[in-house]
């Protein structure tokens, strides 16, 4: 019988790419999510019955253990950018990761991959980065041979970064950003999935891998690249950190008072994160150690950002028409 992997958060942005790769590698894939009915799209990643979404709450031991039963490997892709109700940073990114690793060790699971993030640090002022760091500690405590992947900002067709800012260009001539000089090393989502696949199917060295694309750019430069791809002219305006912190406080309060009905456009914790560069450390293991050549940003962005061009899919046709001779 083929091997089984349980992927917690396997219908999310990164998780779905890992699920697809593991299915193509011939594994049975159990996609553990809070809402299985919204994860039906993962089923065609394999043959009938090969990829199955199942209900799981990573805040509950029994739930985590049930969906892990019989698994040869586990992947934890669960993470949040903002706390919501019982899904706090501690409950999800720290305790949740530790729970998965503890139960995996108890059940004799041989391999585990933890999706973390560059900047994970137990001493960080950011709740996001701090709990990512605590999650890593908890995983290594129970599964010392686990592979931890720390990607920089991840891009791809379903991302919430370039898609979000490209959508904002439709609202007016100004594109506001926080931390315009902060450095990023954008990484293609399928490259992260490839790293996870190698960690599960080959004998890679256990430990922490920081994953970044071939280019390091500041936030302002990334927005300029995006604007070039979608063929729009917008003024990129940097919001100073003190002003952004006040905005984050206001959005946090609105979100809290509305019981989550009003989404926070930016939170105070996100502002704290944007103060720090998000690039691979010089002494870190990375794609090179895995034998992976990361994909460049410009080769992928046009494939999914075309819909934000002034004429959408017809924009290229219009440009070609201009070159026709009368």
Note the helical H segments in 173-230. 189-201, 219-230
Average pLDDT over the chain, rounded to an integer: 94
Tell me the C-alpha distance between 197 and 19, whole Å.
Answer: 9
Domain of residue 27 covers 4-155+186-213+279-294
More confident residue, 85 or 169: 169
Q: What is the pLDDT of residue 61?
A: 96
Q: Which of 8, 278, 239, 285 is nearest to 161 (CA)?
A: 278
Residue 170 lies in a domain: no
- pLDDT by residue (tens digit) across 302-324? 999 999 999 776 666 666 666 66
- pLDDT by residue (tens digit) across 102-125? 999 999 999 999 999 999 999 999
Residue 41 lies in a domain: yes
Reported confidence tier of residue 325, pLDDT bands at 50, 70, 90:
low
Q: Which of 171, 306, 313, 151 is nearest to 226 (CA)?
A: 306
| pTM reported for the whole predicted model | 0.93
In the block, tokens 């720090």 appear at 276
Q: Give how many domains the chain has, as a whole number.
A: 1
Residue 65 lies in a domain: yes
Q: What is the CATH number of the domain that holds 53?
A: 3.40.50.720
Question: How much is the average pLDDT of 213-241?
Answer: 96
Sorted by sequence, the CB contacts under 8 Å of residue 74 that are 6+ apart come out as 5, 6, 7, 8, 68, 100, 104, 109, 111, 112, 113
Q: What is the pLDDT of residue 263?
A: 82
Q: What is the pLDDT of residue 314?
A: 64
Residue 45 lies in a domain: yes
Q: What is the pLDDT of residue 1?
A: 66
Residue 168 lies in a domain: no
């Amino acid at each position: 019988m083929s091997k089984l992997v349980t992927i917690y958060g396997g219908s999310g942005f990164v998780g779905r790419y890992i699920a697809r790769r593991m299915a193509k590698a011939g594994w049975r894939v159990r996609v553990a999510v809070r809402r299985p009915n919204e994860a039906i799209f993962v089923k065609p990643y394999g043959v009938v019955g090969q990829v199955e979404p199942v209900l799981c709450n990573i805040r509950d031991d029994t739930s985590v253990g049930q969906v892990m039963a019989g698994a040869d490997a586990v992947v934890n892709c669960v993470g949040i950018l903002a706390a919501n109700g019982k899904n706090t940073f501690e409950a999800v990114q720290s305790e949740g990761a530790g729970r998965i690793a503890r139960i995996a060790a108890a059940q004799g699971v041989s391999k585990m991959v933890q999706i973390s993030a560059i900047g994970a640090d137990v001493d960080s002022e950011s709740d996001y980065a701090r709990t990512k760091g605590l999650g890593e500690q908890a995983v290594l405590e129970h599964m010392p041979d686990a592979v931890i992947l720390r990607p920089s900002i991840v891009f791809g067709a379903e991302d919430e970064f370039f898609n979000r800012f490209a959508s904002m260009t439709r609202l007016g001539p100004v594109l506001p950003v926080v931390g315009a000089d902060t450095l990023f090393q954008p990484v293609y989502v399928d490259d992260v999935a490839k790293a996870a696949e190698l960690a599960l199917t080959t004998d890679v060295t256990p430990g922490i891998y920081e994953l970044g694309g071939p280019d390091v750019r500041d936030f302002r430069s990334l927005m300029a690249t995006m604007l070039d791809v979608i063929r729009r002219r917008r003024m990129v305006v940097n919001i100073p950190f003190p002003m952004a912190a006040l905005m984050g406080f206001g959005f946090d309060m609105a979100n809290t008072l509305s019981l989550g009905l009003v989404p926070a456009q930016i939170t105070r914790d996100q502002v704290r994160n944007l103060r720090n560069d998000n690039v691979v450390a010089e002494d870190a293991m990375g794609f090179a150690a895995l034998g992976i050549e990361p994909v460049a940003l410009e080769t992928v962005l046009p494939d999914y950002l075309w819909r934000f061009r002034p004429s959408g899919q017809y924009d290229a046709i219009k440009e070609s028409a201009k070159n026709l001779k009368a």
